Amino acid sequence: MQERSSVDELVNLLRSELNRYSPGGKLPSSRALVERFRVSPVTVSRAIARLAAEGLVVTRPGSGAFRARPRADATPPPGDTSWQEVSLSGDGGPEVLPRTVDASGVLVTLAAPPPGVIELNGGYLHSSLQPERALAAALARAGRRPGAWGRPPTDGLPELRGWFARETGPALTAADVLITAGGQSALAVALRALAPPGAPVLVESPTYPGMLAAARAAGLRPVPVPVDADGVRPDLLAAAFRATGARVLVCQPLFQNPTGAVLAPERRGEVVRLARAAGAFIVEDDFARYLVHDDAGPLPPPLAADDPDGVVVHVRSLTKITSPSLRVGALVARGPVLGRLRAIQVVDSFFVPRPLQEAALELVGSPAWGHHLRSVSAELRIRRNAMAAALRLDLPALALPHVPAGGGSLWLRLPGTETGTDEAAVVAAALRAGVAVAPGRPYFCAEPPSPQIRLSFAAVAGATEIVEGIRRLRTACEETLGRPPSRSEASGGGAAARGA
- Give the domain CATH number at 298: 3.40.640.10
* CB count in 10 Å sphere of residue 244: 16
- Answer yes or no: do 182 and 108 share one domain: no
CA contacts within 13 A on the Cβ side of 140 = 6
Question: Quick one: pLDDT at residue 77?
Answer: 58
- Answer yes or no: do 287 and 157 share one domain: yes
b/e per residue 98-116 (b: at least 16 CB within 10 A): eeeeeeebbebbeeebeee
Nearest to 200 by CA among 446, 490, 369: 446
Is residue 84 a part of any domain in this protein? no
- Answer yes or no: do 359 and 375 share one domain: no
CA distance 221 to 224: 10
Is residue 90 a part of any domain in this protein? no
The residue among 145 and 231 whose pLDDT is bigger is 231
Q: Supply the pTM of this predicted model.
A: 0.79
Q: With contact defined as beta carbons under 8 Å apart, do 51 and 14 qualify?
A: yes
pLDDT at 81 over 90: no
Q: Would you report the helix, strand and coil content of the chain in percent, each value rounded to 5?
A: 45, 15, 40
Please write the tens of the pLDDT for every residue from 17-56.
888 888 889 999 989 999 999 999 888 888 888 888 778 8
Is residue 294 a part of any domain in this protein? yes
CA distance 17 to 76: 26
Amino acid at 497: A
Is residue 240 a part of any domain in this protein? yes
- Answer yes or no: do 191 and 296 share one domain: yes
Residue that finishes a domain, picked among 18, 48, 67: 67
CA 446 from centre of chain? 22
Residue that finishes a domain, picked among 312, 347, 365: 365
Element housing 114 (H / E): none
- Answer yes or no: do 47 and 124 share one domain: no
Give the end-to-end CA distance of the chain in Å, rounded to a whole number.
40
Question: Quick one: pLDDT at residue 51?
Answer: 86
Please write the tens of the pLDDT for every residue from 172-181.
999 999 999 9
Question: Quick one: pLDDT at residue 335?
Answer: 87
Amino acid at 226: P
Question: Quick one: pLDDT at residue 86?
Answer: 46
Q: With contact defined as beta carbons under 8 Å apart, do 350 and 116 qualify?
A: no
CATH number at residue 36: 1.10.10.10
- Diameter over CA atoms, the chain: 74
- Answer yes or no: do 434 and 356 share one domain: no
Number of helices followed by number of strands (H, E) in the chain: 17, 15
- Answer yes or no: do 19 and 109 share one domain: no
- What confidence tier does 88 reach under pLDDT thresholds 50, 70, 90? very low
User: Domain count of the chain?
Assistant: 3
- Answer yes or no: do 331 and 385 share one domain: no
- Strands 200-205 and 248-251, bridge-based pairing: parallel
CA distance 442 to 277: 31
Per-residue pLDDT, averaged over 62-87, amounts to 63
Please write the tens of the pLDDT for every residue from 356-397.
999 999 999 989 999 999 999 999 999 999 999 999 999 998
Q: With contact defined as beta carbons under 8 Å apart, do 18 and 50 qualify?
A: no
Kindly report the average pLDDT of the chain as a whole number: 86
Residue that finishes a domain, picked among 365, 393, 426: 365
- Answer yes or no: do 320 and 351 share one domain: yes
Residue range(s) defining the domain that contains residue 214: 132-365
